[in-house]
Amino acid sequence: MRLLLGLWLFALGTVMFLRASLGLSPWDVLADGVRRNSPGTFGQAVILIGLVLVLGSLVAGIKPGPGTIANMILIGAFADLMLATGIAAQLDEMALWLRFIVMLGGIVVTGIGSALYIGAGLGAGPRDSLMIAVATRARIRVGVARAIIEGTALFLGFLLGGSIGVGTLVFALGIGVSVDLAFQLFGMDSAGRKKVQPA
């Protein structure tokens, strides 16, 4: 249940960013670019990218857990279901301050969702798996590997016409803080485990 709730909240945060129309996270820029150049939906593009990442990580020796597969499929599926409801579909025509608040709320919701699904301990997400594979193979720090991967996703998404804006920068600066605060909220350590209280 923790995994499913986390993935649902992650998808909700993604949809909030989409509705605000102020720019997307690097990976969602890529998914948006794929959607614009294919007959599929945004969620289907997210699933396709996740599949490619999982297969790439598998080739590099990182085996996916059940949470990895769930992440690959459900975030995209949940996002499509939410988008199909039409809720807040006209948000991009509303006041800028309201769109900005929804965008910031999307970062908070994404951070909580991330902490929940990571804390479930059922396997890293596709992006995390690729990050580990790149860091291991290239013998570089995890943070450097993540920056390279995120930058590559953003660049490819830009080339495909994905939505880039102030939200892209705000997400890049804010998501780490949001996840960290969510970890603290749920009493988790940096590895996503429940902190052991001293006797």
Q: What is the DSSP string of 21-48?
A: TS---HHHHHHHHHHHTSSS-HHHHHHH
Interatomic CA distance for residues 65 and 100, integer angstroms? 36
pTM value is 0.85
Percentage of residues in the chain with pLDDT exceeding 90? 47
Instruction: Give the pLDDT confidence score for residue 16 in this predicted structure.
Output: 95
Residues 99-125, mean pLDDT to the nearest whole number: 87
Q: What are residue 188's phi and psi, to 5 degrees?
A: -105, 150
Does 190 reside within a domain? no
CB 54 within 8 A of CB 64: yes
Average pLDDT, the chain: 86
Residue whose token pair is 């769109």 = 99
Does 148 reside within a domain? yes
Residues 103-113, mean pLDDT to the nearest whole number: 92
pLDDT band at 139 (very low <50, low <70, confident <90, very high): confident
The range of the structural domain enclosing residue 53 comes to 2-185
61-95 burial, b for 16+ CB within 10 Å, e for fewer? ebebbebbbbbbbbbbbbbbebbeeeebeebeeee
Interatomic CA distance for residues 56 and 64, integer angstroms? 11
Does 92 reside within a domain? yes
Asked whether the predicted pLDDT for residue 63 surpasses 90, the reply is no
Does 179 reside within a domain? yes
Q: What is the CA radius of gyration of the chain?
A: 16
Does 27 reside within a domain? yes
| Bridge partner list, 194 | 188
pLDDT band at 184 (very low <50, low <70, confident <90, very high): confident
Number of domains in the chain: 1
Residues 24-36, mean pLDDT to the nearest whole number: 93
Asked whether the predicted pLDDT for residue 49 surpasses 90, the reply is yes
Does 149 reside within a domain? yes
Does 173 reside within a domain? yes
Does 85 reside within a domain? yes
